[in-house]
Structure 1
């Protein structure tokens, strides 16, 4: 059996790469883009002021020391390379040619900078919710989406990846692709409050919830949710818990509502399904904004699962970091008063999740259904259902 001959390196640094300071994309194009904030926004998915602010937060974590052998790549260029990968999903080699650095260097930079972004921003943009945070989320769901005692919408997103070596069917999902699962809880203003990344593609949404730290906390009651409260105007319904809303793939729990299953439903149950679906749309919209802004989600991700997990977590905190700067300029969500008859009601939902619900969970769903058909009815729901 012939052995592969070792590769002989002709250059310590290729002559083309030595010209990165004169012709590399960061030192030429990016500097020109700083003169036009609109183009800079399109290139990095953020303004130059926000880029500089982000650099101030992560710069100390990604700065390298110069050696006698070579000059290190500066933190601004390292951040630019990572953001460009997240914004486009281009291959490492494509970005390496543009920035005139080695493709292995790009791989190291993306991994390190993505991890640094998560470390630097997670406490600021995605802290562990406390009882007062859950109350504020519930108040916004009531104000914007007319859903009382709701503390978040939960759903899973499959991110298509290249099948890892020797992984078998672990990452093979129901869409006949290989994927990692992002399980997220989103508030009324499309901000990620809890994320769990790394679930195998073969797992259903219910299985991803069951195997996640969030799902475990939901089951054992350690999420620090506010105590049960009375809905104003519906005191006769008694104390009701604070709940998350999910689609038909999730189980029905005391603190997790899912729609009524089946096709032949009463008008009251279809009304409940519409109101729940209307509140649950925030997580679908958040995923849409995420994948529209960070185009790596629209391609087959070819990195290892570990690096993919770091990149996904980085985009989630970047999503919150950027949206918090725009929320103050918006007084109301455009979809809040939508009367579009195309709004899904989940009447014809094709998937069915495990639903080993307790009697209390079933009764709680019936109570919420009664509220949405009587005291909590909104004027336009009669024309939608």
Structure 2
């Protein structure tokens, strides 16, 4: 291990976060894309999953550092080689931490994305759009983002998108209160937004608007 990694408590971004939490909450929010209360709530949820035991060889990376490093990675898309200087965590460890923490977040938060199950549920969303945005017959605001990937072997142009790089598509739908009701990720980047939208749960309700 590099010597400066052993001084993680001195160089970690957690020291900056602690200062921002006290002196500049807007910068804290910009750093993690959430406030400290939301971060602590997430930490409580995932801590039992991502917490590791100390060994005689080394001290385990704390759950709060694992979560904040993951959130910073998701917020910026930084390469692990760059993120190591902010976190004082090796790129190899970051790669494992991000995957493990994302899996923990999915397992704890998946129930928060609730697809409407009845006609009355969808009507409630449409009513909220009328009340909040004066937009009738709308059952969701939908948007997508291309997530850049390394071209898979023997995939040809299957993942090659109109922006001239290989990707998979992250598409989500929210209600009038910005709450997620549908999320889909993994469709090959070559497919248009309209193609991704043709998933069963949305196709069943194609008579209404998807904003």
Could you tell me the TM-score, scaled by structure 2's length? 0.86
Instruction: Give, in angstroms, the shift of residue 85 of structure 1.
Output: 0.7
Alpha carbons 2:126, 2:136 under 8 Å: kept: yes
- 1:176 aligned to 2:164? yes
- 1:90 aligned to 2:78? yes
Please give the alpha-carbon distance, in whole angstroms, between the structure 2 residues aligned to 1:152 and 1:25.
37
Please give the alpha-carbon distance, in whole angstroms, between the structure 2 residues aligned to 1:41 and 1:207.
35
SS in 1 for 2:145: strand
In the TM superposition, 1:175-194 aligns within 5 A as 175-194=163-182
SS in 2 for 1:184: strand
CA RMSD of aligned residues (A): 2.3
Q: 1:153 aligns with which of 136, 141, 152?
A: 141
1:167 aligned residue? 155
SS in 2 for 1:65: coil
- 1:141 aligned to 2:164? no
1:43 aligned residue? 31
1:251 aligned residue? none
Please give the alpha-carbon distance, in whole angstroms, between the structure 2 residues aligned to 1:64 and 1:200.
35
- 1:216 aligned to 2:196? no
Alpha carbons 2:114, 2:180 under 8 Å: kept: no
Please give the alpha-carbon distance, in whole angstroms, between the structure 2 residues aligned to 1:157 and 1:23.
34
Please give the alpha-carbon distance, in whole angstroms, between the structure 2 residues aligned to 1:38 and 1:217.
37
Alpha carbons 2:160, 2:189 under 8 Å: kept: yes
Q: How many residues align?
A: 209
The change in CA–CA distance for 1:148 and 1:33 in structure 2 (over 3 A counts) is: closer
Could you tell me the TM-score, scaled by structure 1's length? 0.50
Please give the alpha-carbon distance, in whole angstroms, between the structure 2 residues aligned to 1:58 and 1:22.
25
Please give the alpha-carbon distance, in whole angstroms, between the structure 2 residues aligned to 1:157 and 1:42.
20
In the TM superposition, 1:358-369 aligns within 5 A as none
Task: Give the number of the structure with larger relative contact order, counting CA–CA contacts within 8 Å between residues 6 or more apart.
Answer: 1
**Structure 2 spans left out of the alignment, 5+ residues:** none
Structure of larger gyration radius = 1
2:60 aligned residue? 72
Please give the alpha-carbon distance, in whole angstroms, between the structure 2 residues aligned to 1:71 and 1:164.
37
Please give the alpha-carbon distance, in whole angstroms, between the structure 2 residues aligned to 1:197 and 1:160.
12
Please give the alpha-carbon distance, in whole angstroms, between the structure 2 residues aligned to 1:78 and 1:53.
15
In the TM superposition, 1:288-303 aligns within 5 A as none
Please give the alpha-carbon distance, in whole angstroms, between the structure 2 residues aligned to 1:41 and 1:155.
23
The change in CA–CA distance for 1:203 and 1:18 in structure 2 (over 3 A counts) is: same
- 1:14 aligned to 2:8? no
Alpha carbons 1:171, 1:180 under 8 Å: kept: yes
